[in-house]
Amino acid sequence: MSGNPPASFRTCPGDRYPPGATVVADGVNFSIYSRYATQVELLLFAAVDSPLPFQVIPLEARIHRAFFFWHVLVVELPPGTYYAWRIDGPDTLPQSGFRFDRDKVLVDPWTRGVSSVLWDRARACRPGDNVSTSLRGVIESGDYDWGDDEPLGCIRPERTIIYELHVSGFTRHPDAGVQAPGTFRGVIEKIPYLMELGITHVELMPVMAFDEQDVPAGVAALGLRNYWGYSTHSYFSPHPGYCVSTDAGAHAREFRDMVKALHAAGIGVILDVVFNHTAEGGADGPVINFKGIGNESYYHLDFADRSKYRDYTGCGNTVNCNHPMVAKFILECLEYWVREMHVDGFRFDLASVLSRGEDGEPLYHAPVLWNIEFSNVLSETRVIAEAWDAAGLYQVGDFPGYRWGEWNGRYRDVIRRFVRGDRGLLGEVAQRISGNSDLYQGADRMPTNSINFITCHDGFTLYDLVSYNSKHNEANGEDNRDGNNNSLSWNCGVEGDTEDTEITGLRRQQAKNFMAILLLSQGIPMITAGDEVLHSQQGNNNPWCQDNELGWFDWGLVESNADMLRFTQLMVAFRKRHPCVAHARFLTGELRDGYWFPDITWHGEQLNTPSWGDSDGQVLAVTLGAVEPWEEDLHIMMNMSEQPRRCALPGIAGRDWHRALDTSMASPGDVLMPARQPLLDASSYKVAARSVVVFEAR
């Protein structure tokens, strides 16, 4: 608010819909769901840092309650005003599961903007009033000139190439050279880089407002904070820390500016969303919103003792996603980000939690998942599941729904093993790179249901995957107990940094092998930001709290590892140029009239003789027939053994094979555009040890 606020604003009963703070003709309508509340107060603050409210509005049940909603209209209240709630109710733990706390100030779960300027997590955990250190929502006008911008539904799934990045970490490094490091505006400044890379979508790690103070005591003692953002508290609000302005009313505008700019560059926006748990943690965690509004509705509680939380996430609490009110909240939130913020899709963290019913057991017809599947507003968006949770539920290949994409952990694991040199994997490797028909075809799904990845934010970077056998997470302050203990990695002979040029050369070649196989596989590829320049986290495979150069994108590597960046850019361009590596439907192996080859044919070192039953097999070749007769056919050879192998190429009357890729060669010979591809004047090719080779026929 500007100027001195009046002593009070006049109020009317208001309406129960929509939830949140909504600007209407007469002022602002407030509504909040709390089924068992007995006392509710609305608090209005004059400024972002006001320690006390200038007006407290008590709500009376007979006037301000309709069904399970409490509501009030504050006449002539201007946008930009900050607000929060106090809610009281029965105190009947453990039998009820209630956690009402009259002393705690609650941020509105539906708020469109939130301020954390005064926030103190510790005060929200302890008994007593925390009004002077609470989170506050802001009344956001919703005004924004989108021009002709719309969500990018025009990019077909099979043409999608995803780039996972951390909004802050992408531009925080001193070498980033941006005016607004660590913000949505910083991402805008790096759009030319994203365009040169050639990706079609960015997948942003959590950007909904989260609690940076949510870290264990040992981690906090090192001065570390929650960097990744998997600790959401305000699901309709952009994270304040990614905004230039401290005015929460401007945060939505800054996010929209980023989306609009990315769309203008032809790049879609996918949000990593965390509906499986919240920042409120377990029984000893803070009261922020959901606990004090409807703990018994929003969370899975222990059957025998409802003062305890069932934890399927490893984070202290689990959201009760298929409670009717919670499912409605999730769907309305997603639709808001599409309708009002123009995002193009969502990746759901630990998505198997969303399939659990109110009793905690998995449901194939989980209401919240099918509501998302059938939502008209979400019909053109990408919905991607991390199809497992921390309690052992693993649903890769069987996640409920038909259009859900899945982070394909089975693809990641077998390709990691194959490239590091494990033997006897050829049959499964073939399944994974040809579209995962064993996982999806029988359920009437498609190759694009598979999100293929080698690395993601969680685990080793690509360069660390070829540089470390074991995790090195000591910097996290948890005695190296955190993070995955089985990374399926290989250090190429020495653990960590080395000046041995033979080893560093092999590591580069292995990184190129991974990138090449990823971008030659049917399905949707996802690249992790920094892998294209061989960013290292020094063996830390869980840098969730490392808001420093360890976790930031190192822009100095763009020059020092320009060969790997070039390789990735050209491989992305190669994928875009060849539809035969990005089919919308499963391959059949059948030959069509007018074509040289079937859509897929498997080989070993000799033609048409793949070594499916060879327990020592490490060589696999495949011919991909062109989608249209005038396009190039491709012949791909992968030799992950320690010795070179001579592999045959099929003959083609009237066409010749041209070498497009050989990961054993130094840049710029490793990957070549068509005009520079040498002709192969032979019927076979010597494939170097641990390398991938691709020929184009024309």
Task: List the alpha helices (DSSP H) in 497-656.
Answer: 501-520, 557-560, 562-577
Element (H, E) at 57: strand 55-59
Domain edge (last residue) among 523, 556, 580: 580
**Quick check: is 680 in a domain?**
yes
Mean pLDDT of 271-285: 97
Contact by Cβ (8 Å): 524, 345: no
Q: Are residues 367 and 265 in the same domain?
A: yes
**Quick check: is 152 in a domain?**
no
Mapped onto helix, strand or coil, the DSSP state of residue 132 is helix
CB-based contacts of 636: which residues, under 8 Å, 6+ apart?
Answer: 520, 621, 622, 623, 624, 692, 693, 694
- Distances 166 to 113, 186, 202, 463, 529 between C-alpha atoms, Å: 20, 11, 10, 18, 8
Q: Are residues 493 and 638 in the same domain?
A: no
**Quick check: is 501 in a domain?**
yes
Q: Which of 386, 464, 605, 662 is catalytic?
A: 386
Q: Looking at the predicted structure, is the pLDDT value of residue 20 above 60?
A: yes
* Residue 152's pLDDT band (cuts 50, 70, 90): confident
**Quick check: is 155 in a domain?**
no
Range of the domain at 669: 588-697
Q: Looking at the predicted structure, is the pLDDT value of residue 7 above 80?
A: no
**Quick check: is 240 in a domain?**
yes
Q: Looking at the predicted structure, is the pLDDT value of residue 593 above 90?
A: no
> Is pTM, for the whole model, over 0.85?
yes
Alpha-carbon gap, residue 325 to 242, rounded angstroms: 30
Tokens of 574: 């190669």
Q: Is 349 a catalytic residue?
A: yes
Q: What percent of the chain has pLDDT over 70?
A: 99
Q: Are residues 405 and 298 in the same domain?
A: yes
Q: What is the CATH number of the domain that holds 131?
A: 2.60.40.10
Interior CA angle at 386 toward 361 and 354, to 5°? 35
Q: Looking at the predicted structure, is the pLDDT value of residue 644 above 70?
A: yes
Q: What is the CATH number of the domain that holds 668?
A: 2.60.40.1180
Tokens of 691: 């390398």
Compute the mean pLDDT over every residue in the chain, rounded to the nearest whole number: 96
Q: Are residues 439 and 504 in the same domain?
A: yes
Q: Are residues 186 and 277 in the same domain?
A: yes
Q: Are residues 304 and 399 in the same domain?
A: yes
Q: Are residues 128 and 276 in the same domain?
A: no
Q: Looking at the predicted structure, is the pLDDT value of residue 1 above 70?
A: no
Q: Which of 344, 349, 554, 662 is catalytic?
A: 349
Instruction: Check residue 346 and give its pLDDT.
Output: 98
Domain edge (last residue) among 138, 157, 176: 138
Domain edge (last residue) among 556, 580, 604: 580
**Quick check: is 84 in a domain?**
yes
Mean pLDDT of 108-123: 97
Q: Are residues 132 and 170 in the same domain?
A: no
Q: Are residues 556 and 687 in the same domain?
A: no
Q: Are residues 461 and 522 in the same domain?
A: yes
* Residue 264's pLDDT band (cuts 50, 70, 90): very high
**Quick check: is 185 in a domain?**
yes
Number of independent structural domains in the chain? 3
Q: Looking at the predicted structure, is the pLDDT value of residue 3 above 60?
A: no
Q: Are residues 304 and 352 in the same domain?
A: yes
Q: Are residues 393 and 474 in the same domain?
A: yes
**Neighbour-count burial of 244, counting CB atoms closer than 10 A to its CB (0-12 exposed, 13-18 middle, 19+ buried):** middle
**Quick check: is 72 in a domain?**
yes
Q: Is 482 a catalytic residue?
A: no
Q: What is the CATH number of the domain that holds 192?
A: 3.20.20.80
